[in-house]
């Protein structure tokens, strides 16, 4: 029963799962590579990271983790400030007038998901990769026993925006982060100038029966999400070029936040809220919207991309070739340039 519960959650997150097709790897000389190197000593990372951070190898992951910080954010309705983990970079010279990019990660993930895209965006604009309430390394100080519903996540993100940014943003949401971004953009249109949905969840309502199980069973099911077999499966499903990107180190990056003491209970709280239900609000999006979708996405059916483009009044669809579910990880240079073009960011600000 526990295994079925975890499998159900993974399936609902995945949407219409399709078996990954065989990928033509091409010749050895044309294959891309991800450089690895042993991480820095534990002391070079913030204390809020679990000790497992020292096992990371990819330079982009190591550098992103080194730059992460926690910001104390007062959120109305919560007894304690939320220690919000994020990676932020101010606007470069000449980019002060560019709307900041705010990057929202997917289901049960962290800001480290944007480790390859974030540095490219900071060359021309202010940027923030933020851990949603209950995920990543954000700590609400209640041990995960509290409100971690979509409404609570939205209230936290608004408080962060108000305190740390305070001007209209280009909001980028990937996968379930897309649902969170739709929720935020329609609730707080004054905060969002442009919206970017990357292989976004938006038409799958709720999380299924997981929240109805007795707490011990549901908590055991949540803990299966932490397991190496499930994480490795998700890792393999995420990419088009699995040989290059679905590495052991990528799995470690995706698993890292699950070692946080509040992770299981906070995730269970979200599960019991039944998750995001934003399908009826897609047509209410008023912002200019860019829909980006990996042509080889095996987690969310690419047919959803065309549905977003049809239902969002002012939208543009861009297909990302040779790409699975995570364009920000598999095609970061293409995605960065597409975001700059969409936001009207000129190359001259990078000087």
Q: Which residues are catalytic?
A: 175, 297, 325
Listed in order, strand segments (DSSP E) in 175-287 are: 192-198
Task: List 276's β-bridge partners, or say none.
Answer: none
Q: What is the 3-state secondary structure (H, E, C) of 198-213?
A: ECCCCCCCCCHHHHHC
Q: Exposure of 294 by Cβ count < 10 A (0-12 exposed, 13-18 middle, 19+ buried)?
A: buried
CB 62 within 8 A of CB 37: yes
Listed in order, strand segments (DSSP E) in 96-155 are: 101-104, 127-130
CA distance linking residue 296 with residue 294, whole number of Å = 5
CA distance linking residue 325 with residue 215, whole number of Å = 31
- Tell which phi-psi region holds residue 202, choosing left (phi > 0), alpha (psi between -120 and 50) or beta: alpha
CA distance linking residue 243 with residue 241, whole number of Å = 5
């Amino acid at each position: 029963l526990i295994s079925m519960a975890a499998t159900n959650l993974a399936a609902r997150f995945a949407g219409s799962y399709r078996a990954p097709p065989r990928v033509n790897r091409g010749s050895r000389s044309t294959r891309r590579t991800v450089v690895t190197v042993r991480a820095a000593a534990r002391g070079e990372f913030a204390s809020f990271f679990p000790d497992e951070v020292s096992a990371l190898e990819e330079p982009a992951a190591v550098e992103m983790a080194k730059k992460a910080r926690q910001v104390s954010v007062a959120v109305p309705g919560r007894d304690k400030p939320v220690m919000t983990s994020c990676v932020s970079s101010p606007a470069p010279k000449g980019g002060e007038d560019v709307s900041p990019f705010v990057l929202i990660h997917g289901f049960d993930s962290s800001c480290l998901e944007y480790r390859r895209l974030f540095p490219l965006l900071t060359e021309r604009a202010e940027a923030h990769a933020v851990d949603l309430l209950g995920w990543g390394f954000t700590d609400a100080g209640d041990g995960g026993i509290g409100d971690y519903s979509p409404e609570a996540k939205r209230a936290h993100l608004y408080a962060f925006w108000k305190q740390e940014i305070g001007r209209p943003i280009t909001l980028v949401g990937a996968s379930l982060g897309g649902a969170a971004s739709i929720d935020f953009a329609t609730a707080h249109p004054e905060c969002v100038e442009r919206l970017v949905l990357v292989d976004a969840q938006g038409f799958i309502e709720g999380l299924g029966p997981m929240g109805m199980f007795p707490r011990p069973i549901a908590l055991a099911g949540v803990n299966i999400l932490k397991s190496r077999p499930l994480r490795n499966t998700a890792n393999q499903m995420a990419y088009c070029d699995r040989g290059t990107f679905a590495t052991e180190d990528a799995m470690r990056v995706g698993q890292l936040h699950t070692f946080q003491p509040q992770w299981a209970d906070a995730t269970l709280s979200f599960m019991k809220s039944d998750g995001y239900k934003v399908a009826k609000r897609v047509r209410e999006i008023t912002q200019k919207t860019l829909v980006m979708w990996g042509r080889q996405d095996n987690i969310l059916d690419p047919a959803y991309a065309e549905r977003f483009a049809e239902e969002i009044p002012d939208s543009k669809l861009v297909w990302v070739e040779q790409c699975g579910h995570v364009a920000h990880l598999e095609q970061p240079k293409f995605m960065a340039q597409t975001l700059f073009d969409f936001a009207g960011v000129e190359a001259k600000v990078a000087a």
